[in-house]
Amino acid sequence: MYKTMHQYYLYILTNKTNGTLYIGITNNLERRMFEHKNKLVEGFTKRYGLNKLIYFETYQYVNDAIKREKNMKKWKREWKIKLIEKDNPNWKDLAKDWKY
């Protein structure tokens, strides 16, 4: 039997450099960023204007993404910032130039 490969993403959003952080997961990062940037997602991200994608990881299995998300949400803020700044020291919006 043929099994389709899926990708899942753990992502971190902010509203500005060193601003509020949000960690989430999705199976379609482009669609999810469109939703965040257009304020289509009710709740925390909309309330705080969190629409800058500053970090993401890719997973083959949803359980791995969920496990990482739950673990990372327990991290100290300092650890999250170190992770972000390792690959994105200027907190650049990685989805800024995406075409939806």
pLDDT over 90 at 99, yes or no: no
Tokens of 72: 């990372």
pLDDT tens, position by position, 48-86: 999 999 999 999 999 999 999 999 999 999 999 999 999
* Residue 20 lies inside a defined structural domain of this protein: no
* Residue 55 lies inside a defined structural domain of this protein: yes
pLDDT tens, position by position, 37-49: 999 989 999 999 9
> What is the rounded CA–CA span in Å between residue 66 and residue 60?
11
Three-state secondary structure call for residue 17: coil
Over residues 5-33, mean pLDDT: 95
DSSP state of 40: -
The total of structural domains in the chain comes to: 1
* Residue 81 lies inside a defined structural domain of this protein: yes
Range of the domain at 93: 26-100
Is the model's pTM score more than 0.75? yes
User: Could you tell me which residues come within 8 angstroms of residue 23 by beta carbon, excluding any fewer than 6 positions away?
Assistant: 10, 11, 12, 69, 72, 73, 80
Q: Looking at 3-7, 48-52, 87-91, which range is the least confident one?
A: 3-7
* Residue 80 lies inside a defined structural domain of this protein: yes
> What is the rounded CA–CA span in Å between residue 72 and residue 92?
21
